[in-house]
Amino acid sequence: MRDRQRGSATKRGYGSAWQRLSRAVLEGHRSIYGEWCPGYRVPAHSSSDLTVDHVIPKALGGTDTRENTQVLCRACNGRKRDNRA
C-alpha cells in the first residue's frame, strides 16, 4: 500500500541510471571493504545486506552522483531514514 502511495521507483527517480550507479558504487565498496557496513549511529559491522543510499536525500535536493552516495546496510539505511522524521 505504501509503495502505491509513493509511486513506482522509476517515477520517484530511481530508474535505470540510478540502478547502474548504485551497482557500480556497491561493487566498488565490496571490492575494498567486503561485506562491511560503516554504520549509522552504530559501530561499523559486518552485513551481507548492503544498499546504496543518498547522503542528501533526493527529496531534499540530493543528486544522483557518486559523491552523494554511501553504502549502508538495510538496517542502518532505515535508521537514517527514521532519524529524519
Rounded (5°) CA angle 14-18-21: 160
Provide CB contacts within 8 A for 59, sequence distance 6+: none
Domain ranges of the chain: 2-84
Residue 52, strand partner residues: 71
Is the pLDDT at 43 greater than 90, yes or no? yes
**Rounded to whole angstroms, how far apart are CA atoms 17 and 44?**
29
Q: What is the mean pLDDT of residues 34-51?
A: 96
Place of cell 530511481: 14
Q: What is the pTM of this model?
A: 0.80
Region 26-36: what's the mean pLDDT? 97
Residues in the chain: 85
Q: Answer yes or no: is pLDDT of 59 > 90.
A: no
Is the pLDDT confidence value at 85 over 90?
no
pLDDT of 1 strictly over 60: no
